[in-house]
Structure 1
């Protein structure tokens, strides 16, 4: 999609919280290309300066280093903004199980701070990152926005609470928001290091280092992997939405395709063979299942297609091609 043909952000001021993170930095990059004025709020606890270093000298870019747990910082960041894209969060189900207090403080209190600050700043649209973890114990496939089970982790509970707060802010204050339930986002700039790294960069790092990737469980667990450009598209559509059938709704952001962990390893090996034939004989090893993991995840994107206009441009294979090439280049540089 040539975004300039569909979106007009010129002279609009947009706050992106968590803008130095993986998803936030991609949103900022696209908004700047569309001549938007972008304000980035990040405390760099998980975001990285290198993700935004290309924007620092851009006159349309402004950085506020601060924490969404600080209400006054949220007010400062939201003031004067036309739109808010709220991406700041403490991700990872395992991290939330290990530290539920911190997860709640960032994801719940932080969310309340930024949505209230945005209300007071009278922003036009408040778009926030929701999560497929919200579907919890529900075994139904595909996942439909209106049907979900009980949360299986503190992280999932915080994300469900965000949706409830957003609904209350509409009923109580007539403040508009849109929630985007992301399904396993991946792509360039996703953190490859640390114990809470996402599965695709973790598998890539192991294979590139000629080590067997470690799969939690028997490898049958499946996910709906979603390339970052699809997520950016959904955010742009949500930021510019005006229809009552879009405002104050929740939308799945995914590819509507299911891939098991074993299949994912094989896809990564196939792509890496272009660069390194030694990965051919590497086989995964299997460890214990992780607490809080949902066995299977597959999204219905019918609602997002019909009402938001969402149309994912990258399937898993296409997204992996770009992602693997990026990691090969950057791990060697």
Structure 2
């Protein structure tokens, strides 16, 4: 199998590329990334063919997808706050970019397409747990772009017969997720701050809940879907209902780092969802053998990566 990963130099993409190199049936991995949020060192040492460029470049897409069997579409401008600052940039990268990938997949011979959506599409819908038949209620431009991603995958499946699968990701974390930028996710930010002896910033009172999912679990599901060619035009939650408040996350980080985490509360952020918890019924029907990595193990692995990265950075 020849697999293309858009956004493959990013956090999830590079972890997936590493996981796929261990699969005997995968004979070639092509990574396409414009390096706007991805980093080439993430794929250093991996047996992949790297193409630097943007998914909105149709000519480049045709080159990268030629003779491929499947595309895992992860390229996007992530982050709710980023989309609030520049909604058009998020739309072009996430919505138009997805449309370009789908059209290129058709031109390449109706390739199998897996794409990453987001739990943010549930937005203001208060029902818990979040099941895929709930009415979406996006609260940010980013969430709207991910809902559009799902809609385009479904439309291309029903209109053109394109084999597709879209996953709603819930707060993915783990090794390789950086903390050194303005839009960093909560776990890498808090792990990095605690290791550095700095306070962790809590927006709001910290009682908001999230369904944290370890990146290794996500990669196992993606890999399984690729090898078995699982086709599902409806979106699929990729999380396991392990709801945890931000305040309850802090002791996990303290245990893993062996250091106290001092809280610094700030005002809530616009566009943030108060509570998130996945209904995993559809996921487990498609992938009954997949079990999640417990959060204490995932955070411990994340802390180990941060410590190793600090050593590498200090010696480079």
TM range (shorter): over 0.9
Establish whether residue 267 from structure 1 lines up as the match of residue 252 from structure 2: yes
- Could you tell me how far apart the structure 1 residues matched to 2:118 and 2:54 are? 21
Aligned partners of 2:161 and 2:294: how far apart in 1?
37
- RMSD (Å), alpha carbons: 1.3
**Superposition pairs of residues 64-143 of structure 1, within 5 angstroms:** 64-143=51-130
Counterpart of 1:155 (choices 121, 128, 142) is 142
Is the contact between residue 123 and residue 139 of structure 2 (CA under 8 Å) also seen in structure 1? yes
1:290 is matched with 269
Correspondence 1:1-333 to 2 at 5 A: 12-35=1-24, 36=26, 37-55=28-46, 58=47, 61-242=48-229, 246-273=231-258, 279-280=259-260, 282-309=261-288, 311-333=290-312
Paired with 2:287 and 2:93, the residues of 1 have a C-alpha distance of 28
After TM superposition, the score normalised by the length of structure 1 is 0.90
Q: CA deviation at 1:31?
A: 1.0
* Deviation sequence 1:283-327 (CA, Å, 0-9, x none): 211101010000000001111111233623402111111111111
Contiguous gaps of at least 5 residues in structure 1: 1-11, 274-278
TM-score of the pair, normalised by structure 2: 0.95
Please say if residues 90 and 103 of structure 1, whose CA atoms lie closer than 8 Å, have aligned partners that are also in contact: yes
Give the match for residue 3 of structure 1: none
User: In the comparison of the two structures, how many residue pairs are matched?
Assistant: 310
CA contact (8 A) 1:304 1:310 kept: no
Asked if the contact 1:258–1:298 (Cα under 8 Å) also holds between the matched residues in 2, the reply is yes
Residues 211-266 of structure 1: CA deviation (Å, up to 9, x unaligned): 110101101011000000110011112223456xx432321111311111111111
State how far apart, in whole Å, the 1-side matches of 2:115 and 2:305 are. Answer: 27
Q: Deviations over 1:133-175 (max 9, x none)?
A: 1111111111101113311000000000011111111121111
